[in-house]
Structure formats: C-alpha cells, structure tokens
Structure 1
Amino acid sequence: MAELVVRLRQRLKLTQEQLAARLGVTCPTVNRWENRKSRPSKLALKLIKSTLEQLGAEDLLTQYFPH
C-alpha cells in the first residue's frame, strides 16, 4: 500500500499535505502510510480507489484492487 499511496500522489502531483486534505486525513497519516508505519483504513482505501477510478488509472486499480 505504501507504493500505491506514493504513486497516486505522484500522478496527482500533490504533496503529502495536499493528498491528506483530499482524502480527509492528516499529513502525518499519509507520511506513515508512505513509510510503511501504518496502512490506510477501509474508508481511506475506498477514497483512494475512487480517486484512481476518477483518474482512469486502470494499471493501479488492477494491481492494487483486483476483482
């Protein structure tokens, strides 16, 4: 999941702070995800998946959210 968060943030060209605001979490939370100190909650994962769907990021959806 850490790589997914980094790749999503890079695609959106957002800072950790900006991604945190978009997902409704704190910047330290995004930092912990990226540094593998914690994992996104189920709600955060739904928001991440929704963001990927909006971006049309099929490669990341297939890799991280297989059916």
Structure 2
Amino acid sequence: MPAIEQPKFAELIRQTRARLELSQFEFVSLFQSVNRWEKGRTKLLSLALKQIEVLVHPMDDHAKDLLEKYFQGQGVKNCEP
C-alpha cells in the first residue's frame, strides 16, 4: 500500500473525524493515536488507514471528495505531490 505524505494523512484524519462529527476523544476510542496523527507526529499504520476507509465509505456524497482524494479501489491513493 503506498504511503500517504505526512501532512496529507493528518488532513485526512481531521476531515474524516469532523465529517463523522466526532471529537478527538470520541474518535480515540476507535483509534488510540488520533491526536498524534492529526498533528502529523505519527505515521498511520495500513490497518488503521483501512479502518478509516471503512468509516468513510458509508458517508457517500458527504465524503465523496475524501474517497477520491485519498482512496482508490482497495488501496490508498498515492498522495505525493
């Protein structure tokens, strides 16, 4: 699975959490490292990224831009500039 550039996955985490209308505290119950991810301090593991993709898919039109920007098919889109 291609790696997402650090600032790009921080943006993905923030946007996904906001669209799910979850606080960092609520999101952390799903993912222990949300604060470090959003600040770009820690890399996202591929398993966590897959779980985020699973959360984003049911949002349909509300998250269509996130799916197009970060995910394609079964893997993560390479977000290198």
1:41 corresponds to: 45
Q: Which ranges of 4 or more aligned residues in structure 1 deviate by more than 3 Å?
A: none
Query: Comparing both structures, which one devotes a greater share of its residues to strand?
Result: 2
TM-score by length of structure 2 reads 0.71
Superposed displacement of residue 55, structure 1? 1.0
Structure 2 distance, partners of 1:13, 1:20, is: 13
* CA RMSD in angstroms, aligned pairs only: 1.1
TM-score by length of structure 1 reads 0.84
Structure 1 distance, partners of 2:50, 2:17, is: 16
Match status 1:12 vs 2:27? no
Count of equivalent residues: 63
Give the gaps of 5 or more residues in structure 2: 1-8, 74-81
Determine which structure has greater relative contact order: mean sequence separation of CA pairs < 8 Å that are 6+ residues apart, divided by chain length: 2
Whichever of the two has the greater Rg, that structure is 2
